[in-house]
Amino acid sequence: MVDPAPQSTAPVEPVDTGYTPGGVPTFESVREKIETRYGTAIGSAELAAETPEGRSVAEQYDERQRAAAERLDQIREQLRKQSDTQ
């Protein structure tokens, strides 16, 4: 008869599933999910900005901002002239 292999006495580490025994997500698992999603979003935005389309959108936005600032300056100047004549 062959003796069975000796059993290990080392404790078995519980597997971290990210949930409590009651099925509630742990703080660490939620934090990890949020950080992963945030990192993915930042990376996607950086990649999108490097495409021709992304640069075009950024340039269009900048142009609209400049036009809006110019128009605001025109309106302010008109208001100054009106207040000076009154």
* pLDDT tens-place string over residues 28-77: 999 999 999 999 999 998 888 888 887 888 888 999 999 999 999 999 99
* 60 domain residue, yes or no: yes
- Cα 2 to Cα 67: distance, rounded to the nearest angstrom: 89
Q: What is the pTM of this model?
A: 0.47
Residue 74 lies in domain: 27-85
* 10 domain residue, yes or no: no
- Cα 19 to Cα 29: distance, rounded to the nearest angstrom: 8
Into how many domains does the chain fold? 1
> Side-chain half-sphere of 24: how many Cα atoms within 13 Å?
3
Are residues 25 and 34 in contact, defined by beta-carbon separation less than 8 angstroms?
A: no
* Per-residue model confidence as pLDDT tens digits over 42-51: 999 888 888 8
> For tokens 């580490």, what's the residue?
13
* 81 domain residue, yes or no: yes
* 75 domain residue, yes or no: yes
Single-letter code of the amino acid located at 76: R
* 77 domain residue, yes or no: yes
Backbone phi and psi for residue 17, each to the nearest 5 degrees, phi listed first: -90, -15
